[in-house]
Chain A
Amino acid sequence: MAKKRGSATGTKKPRGKPKSKKDAVDLRRLEPVLKKYREERGAIIPMLQQAQAVYGYLPQSVMERVAEAGGVSPSEVYGVVTFYTQFRLKPVGDYVIRVCHGTACHVNGAERITETIAGQLGIDEGGTTDDSKFTLESVVCLGCCSLAPVMMINEETYGRLTPKKVRTILKSY
């Protein structure tokens, strides 16, 4: 693995909203989500998915509120959150880079793509840059195997990557 340079930080620096403290989230934004699923059976997962869409991750207070609304214990919600890879307990950068490590990407050099990005941004896999701009993640398969190796930056997909191409793409952000 690439040697660690720079540091991966877990907390997002407050931007836009000054004075907002870590995990001090506005729970009112969650209410429309909870209302939507009030009548639905077993809706913990969709509630969490949409809560994450609102906050970018799942702060503790949000999980507690979802538990209350869903009529289950906070520990059960935490169990669900930690079971599924989609859920995040930490905030992420403005741009989430997801490098595909499916079979086709693996045999076509996905590891080097992750290394190149890690080296370029000075973070490890799973880390976020100090300026909260980028988060680097690995995913199991994006399903664009014929374009391997592939990565996504937020909603944009990039295929047939080479380390050189990756560096050019990163510079465009």
Chain B
Amino acid sequence: MAGKRSTTTIKVGLGSCGIAAGARKVWDALEQELNRDGIKADLKITGCIGMCFREPLVEVTDQRGTVTYGDMTPERVQRMLEEHVRDGTPVDEWIVRGEGYDRPDDAFLEKQYRIVLRNCGIIDPENIEEYMGRQGYAALEKALGEYSPEQVIEIITQSGLRGRGGAGFPTGVKWSFARRAPDRGVKYVVCNADEGDPGAFMDRSTLEGDPHTVIEGMLIAGYAIGASDGYIYVRAEYPLAVKRLHIALDQARTRGFVGENILGTDFSFEIKIKEGAGAFVCGEETALIASIEGRRGMPRLRPPFPATCGLWGQPTNINNVETFANVPWIILNGAEAFSALGTEKSKGTKVFALAGKTARGGLVEVPMGITLREVVNDIGGGTISGVPVKAVQMGGPSGGCIPASLMDTRVDYEEVTSTGAIMGSGGMVVLDETTCMVDVAKFFLSFTQRESCGKCTFCRIGTRRMLEILTRISGGKAREKDIDLLGDLAAKIKMASLCGLGQTAPNPVLTTLRYFRDEYEAHVNEKRCPATVCRPLLTVEIDEEKCTGCGACKAVCPVHAIVGEKKQPHRIDHDLCTRCKMCYETCKFDAVSVR
């Protein structure tokens, strides 16, 4: 009985979003049930496969193949084990993916091409054996054994890999600067894992799902530029990523991939983990360096660039998580294989965190050159509400909103930049017609205003003034010239700020002004929010004819602004009402209106 069945493997996706959706409880249930009724299977953990919208995910592999169950719950575990693992009949209605199964969610993976995420959701991230089983550390061995450091840099340059943190600087060129920098005893490689964009989780998922590939990428970079020490600067808000990095580093050290005389060569490299303490500006290179040194993370003037004068004054090469994760693949498969993907100037793939109003939110990796329409509609399945897409926000607070009319824009650094947005690190937030673009601009500006380190006057005070103007506009107190003033301030902040945060902070305002000026004008001139989002401009009313006095709205109102006796028509106290629309959404009789 057991001998035959133990060929079954059950994997549970235990990334942060899986756990948030309840995967840990599913795991516990599996662990408990498996050892009971003689149903045997190997239980394993894995990272995020990217289908966050179907979490918790459980994958079952046996001699018949592999199927994935979505939206799993502890209650579903017993039936799945009995019918699938014991009796050999998969539970058809819960399957979201599998060979021979035609499922609507198949479209989510069809147009993807996985380099960075090649192991995510497949291997156990806490087990180095599984990484090595998929050519892990073979790239390091190849680089050290077959290539000189200069040749490694040449391969990376030829591949066309550009910085995935957002700016898109050619990685090979960056490495060559650090390689050529005068050696004053020590050089550093830093991995920027301070993923601070609200709405982005690519780096977290990569670190949680495949930490070794980032470590291997750093090792190859270290060899290429002649560095002996590395730091991974990771957000403290990502405890699971930090934990898995520690486990991976210990394992890599035990195996001799990290430490002295790696793989018997004279290349030595040590890696330390530094936890960021929460400051968006630390994603900027010089601010990140200041933070590792234990100071306030404030950017400084460049030059000198970190490549010549970085951490503790030494030559330092800083790359983003995704950039490093590409490196082992390029070394193993060659520069041509990588540059065969993509457009003329943007090669390879890009990972996006697809979120917002999308129907299928999750982590996607697509070849460069794919259109936004394909990503949003084909992979993301359009909007969850069915309401048409209004815009796609790319690049977070530094980026902008690309309107639905430009959805044929290709994923390409230059093409995205020409819309006024930026490629960014990979946040892609889908906005539908119920989203107010003035509110979105205000949201991002309140973020950058808060996160401005305060060094440059235009960034510190200019963003505050812009936020005040946007607050006036969304509050129905706009002045006639406010829209022009916004544009004027935006241009000056871009020009007079030292670092990327200030230089890009006005982008969300500029792009919404460019594509959705009519919405601004409705707010300013008509004191009206077309999407009914900006609360001070709204009026919420109860139609006494339709109201049955059921009390549902009264119960849900957070500020107790609804009055009325049971079975009598209710009314709203407008002085107390915060226009949160909860009553509107609760009412079953269509008696509440919002204008």
Which residues does chain B contribute within 8 Å of A48, judged by CB atoms? 277
Inter-chain contact A147/B20, CB cutoff 8 Å = yes
Residues from 1 to 58 in A contacting B, C-beta threshold 8 Å: 1-3, 41-46, 48-49
B149 to chain A minimum Cβ distance, whole angstroms, is 27
Annotate B348-387 by CB proximity to A: 1 below 8 A, 0 otherwise: 0000011111000110000000000000000000000000
Inter-chain contact A107/B201, CB cutoff 8 Å = no
Residues from 121 to 157 in A contacting B, C-beta threshold 8 Å: 139-148, 150, 155, 157
The CA of A1 and the CA of B576, in the complex, are separated in Å by: 10
- Is B200 in contact with chain A by the CB < 8 A criterion? yes
Residues from 310 to 337 in B contacting A, C-beta threshold 8 Å: 312
Inter-chain contact B361/A146, CB cutoff 8 Å = yes
Inter-chain contact B294/A146, CB cutoff 8 Å = no
> B312 contacts which of A3, A41, A83 (Cβ < 8 Å)?
A41
> A80 contacts which of B196, B295, B427, B444 (Cβ < 8 Å)?
B295
Inter-chain contact B435/A107, CB cutoff 8 Å = yes
Which residues does chain A contribute within 8 Å of B393, judged by CB atoms? 103
Inter-chain contact A143/B201, CB cutoff 8 Å = yes
The CA of A46 and the CA of B234, in the complex, are separated in Å by: 12
Number of B interface residues in the complex (CB < 8 A): 60
A65 to chain B minimum Cβ distance, whole angstroms, is 16
Inter-chain contact B21/A159, CB cutoff 8 Å = yes
Tell me the nearest residue of chain A to B443, going by C-beta. A106
Residues from 194 to 210 in B contacting A, C-beta threshold 8 Å: 195-201, 204
Tell me the nearest residue of chain B to A47, going by C-beta. B294
> B199 contacts which of A120, A145, A147 (Cβ < 8 Å)?
A145
Inter-chain contact B237/A163, CB cutoff 8 Å = no
Which residues does chain A contribute within 8 Å of B204, judged by CB atoms? 143
Which residues does chain A contribute within 8 Å of B294, judged by CB atoms? 41-45, 70, 80
- Is A172 in contact with chain B by the CB < 8 A criterion? no
Which residues does chain B contribute within 8 Å of A108, judged by CB atoms? 356-357
- Is B582 in contact with chain A by the CB < 8 A criterion? yes
- Is B293 in contact with chain A by the CB < 8 A criterion? yes
A57 to chain B minimum Cβ distance, whole angstroms, is 14
Which residues does chain B contribute within 8 Å of A111, judged by CB atoms? 580
Annotate B493-524 by CB proximity to A: 1 below 8 A, 0 otherwise: 00000000000000000000000000000000
Inter-chain contact A86/B236, CB cutoff 8 Å = yes
Which residues does chain B contribute within 8 Å of A147, judged by CB atoms? 17, 20-21, 52, 55
With A107-B429, A144-B201 as contacts: A1 and B278 at CB distance below 8 Å = no
Inter-chain contact B356/A103, CB cutoff 8 Å = yes
Which residues does chain B contribute within 8 Å of A139, judged by CB atoms? 237
With A42-B293, A80-B296, A103-B443 as contacts: A143 and B274 at CB distance below 8 Å = no
Which residues does chain B contribute within 8 Å of A140, judged by CB atoms? 196, 198, 278, 280, 447
The CA of A140 and the CA of B431, in the complex, are separated in Å by: 19
Which residues does chain A contribute within 8 Å of B576, judged by CB atoms? 3
Of B239, B274, B443, B453, chain A has the most CB atoms within 10 Å of the CB of B443
The CA of A87 and the CA of B280, in the complex, are separated in Å by: 15
- Is B396 in contact with chain A by the CB < 8 A criterion? yes
B291 to chain A minimum Cβ distance, whole angstroms, is 7
A162 to chain B minimum Cβ distance, whole angstroms, is 9
Which residues does chain B contribute within 8 Å of A141, judged by CB atoms? 196-201, 237
Annotate B39-78 by CB proximity to A: 1 below 8 A, 0 otherwise: 0000000000000110100000000000000000000000
Residues from 265 to 310 in B contacting A, C-beta threshold 8 Å: 274-280, 291-297
Which residues does chain A contribute within 8 Å of B239, judged by CB atoms? 155
With A104-B356, A107-B356, A140-B447 as contacts: A145 and B361 at CB distance below 8 Å = yes
Inter-chain contact B578/A115, CB cutoff 8 Å = yes
A39 to chain B minimum Cβ distance, whole angstroms, is 13
Inter-chain contact A49/B429, CB cutoff 8 Å = no
- Is B556 in contact with chain A by the CB < 8 A criterion? yes
Inter-chain contact B199/A46, CB cutoff 8 Å = no
> B275 contacts which of A46, A115, A150 (Cβ < 8 Å)?
A46
Which residues does chain B contribute within 8 Å of A116, judged by CB atoms? 558
Which residues does chain A contribute within 8 Å of B413, judged by CB atoms? none
Inter-chain contact A79/B312, CB cutoff 8 Å = no
A-B contact pairs, 9 of them (CB 8 A): A80-B295, A83-B453, A101-B198, A103-B355, A103-B443, A107-B357, A140-B278, A145-B199, A163-B556
List residues of A whose CB falls within 8 A of some B CB.
1-3, 41-46, 48-49, 70, 76, 79-80, 83-87, 101-104, 106-108, 111-112, 115-116, 118-120, 139-148, 150, 155, 157-159, 163-164
Other than A107-B429, A142-B20, give 4 A-B pairs with Cβ distance below 8 A.
Answer: A3-B576, A108-B356, A141-B200, A158-B20
List residues of B whose CB falls within 8 A of some A CB.
16-17, 19-21, 52-53, 55, 195-201, 204, 236-239, 274-280, 291-297, 312, 353-357, 361-362, 393, 396, 427, 429, 431, 435, 440, 443-444, 447, 453, 556, 558-559, 576, 578, 580, 582
